[in-house]
Amino acid sequence: MNDNIGFNLDKMDVKLIGGMAHYEMQTNDGPLLLNDLLGKSLKLNFHREIYCTHCNKKTNKSYSGGYCYVCSIKLAECDMCILKPETCHYSLGTCRDPKWGEKNCMTHHYVYLANSSGLKVGITRASQVPTRFIDQGAVRALPIIKVGSRHMSGVFEKLFASEYKDKTDWRKMLKGDQEFIDLQEKRDELFELFGEDLDQLEHQFGEDQVSILEQESEIEIHYPVIAYPEKVSSLSVEKLGIIGGTLKGIKGQYLLFDTGVINIRSHTGYRVHLEF
């Protein structure tokens, strides 16, 4: 395909089929299954234009991961509380868009453990399982607590983050040599360590709002990768304009080329056309 009309990049859609992550890119020609392009040549030609993922207006800079400035200060999904869920202020009546908040935040969330670049704790909307795990490049994940809102999940995450990391080291994640971690064992350790805090938070939020998941099993995720890079180098769209090479793998929201790696999600709204 060599179609110069172009389309605006969005995060890759992911599905877990038989334990393998499947990646689709939404192009102007419809969805493209990227797993099929492994080992083949793929080029992303960047037009050096960015379009807001919400209002579609052209913007010189991408704010909040794919928005224009106006949308980034207006939309609930661009508020600081999205990055720091424990600061969700819906209950104060100050949510930028209460309807959005009801749909996205005042709904079931999981606190989970994952092995992405090592052990980490994270949170996700229940409907985003296992998408969230794949987006982070986790090789294993284990939901450990189910709660009634985003805010509650953030409070638990912050508590556990004193013990386990809540960030992924993407360079390490892309090297692909994660050592095995028994997440169920780590969960048991965590529950023992924070037993009193869990009881207290369960009481504070209400027992019908918090389920401690003691029996959940791990989700294992394999990625379509022929070869992991020995040295992870990030390809700069600003410098290069055209990004690509032989597609060696896909992990998290990254495309791994023989020439380097690119995070597709962080280029949301960038106009491109593909060559393959």
235 binds Zn ion per the rule CB under 5 A: no
Q: Which stretch binds Zn ion (CB under 5 A): 4-12, 54-62, 134-142, 192-200?
A: 54-62
- Of 70 and 181, the one with the shorter C-beta distance to Zn ion is 70
**Which of residues 52, 113, 155, 256 is near Zn ion by CB under 5 A?**
52
Site for Zn ion in 88-127 (CB under 5 A): none
68 binds Zn ion per the rule CB under 5 A: yes
Q: Which stretch binds Zn ion (CB under 5 A): 45-53, 142-150, 177-185, 215-223?
A: 45-53
Q: Which stretch binds Zn ion (CB under 5 A): 12-20, 70-78, 120-128, 231-239?
A: 70-78
- Of 10 and 86, the one with the shorter C-beta distance to Zn ion is 10
- Of 72 and 116, the one with the shorter C-beta distance to Zn ion is 72
- Of 7 and 194, the one with the shorter C-beta distance to Zn ion is 7
Provide, rounded to whole angstroms, the least separation between the CB of residue 268 and Zn ion: 12
272 binds Zn ion per the rule CB under 5 A: no
Quick one: angle between helices 183-193 and 195-205, nearest 10? 80
Provide, rounded to whole angstroms, the least separation between the CB of residue 96 and Zn ion: 14
142 binds Zn ion per the rule CB under 5 A: no
Provide, rounded to whole angstroms, the least separation between the CB of residue 266 and Zn ion: 17
76 binds Zn ion per the rule CB under 5 A: no
Q: Which residues fall within 8 angstroms of residue 102, CB to CB, at 6 or more apart?
A: none
Quick one: angle between helices 195-205 and 150-160, nearest 10? 160
Provide, rounded to whole angstroms, the least separation between the CB of residue 71 and Zn ion: 3
- Of 68 and 138, the one with the shorter C-beta distance to Zn ion is 68
Q: What is the DSSP string of the chain?
A: -B--S-EE--PPEEEEETTEEEEEEEETTEEEEGGGGTTSEEEEEEEEEEE-TTT--EESS-BTTTB-HHHHHH-GGGSHHHHSGGG--GGGT--S-HHHHHHHTSS-EEEEEEESSSEEEEEEEGGGTTHHHHHTT-SEEEEEEEESSHHHHHHHHHHHTTTSB-S--HHHHHH--PPP--HHHHHHHHHHHTHHHHHHHHHHH-GGGEEE-SS---EE-B--BS---SS--BPPHHHHSEEEEEEEEEETTEEEETTEEEESGGGTTEEEEEE-
- Of 71 and 174, the one with the shorter C-beta distance to Zn ion is 71
Provide, rounded to whole angstroms, the least separation between the CB of residue 207 and Zn ion: 42
The site for Zn ion (CB under 5 A) is made up of 52, 54-55, 68, 71
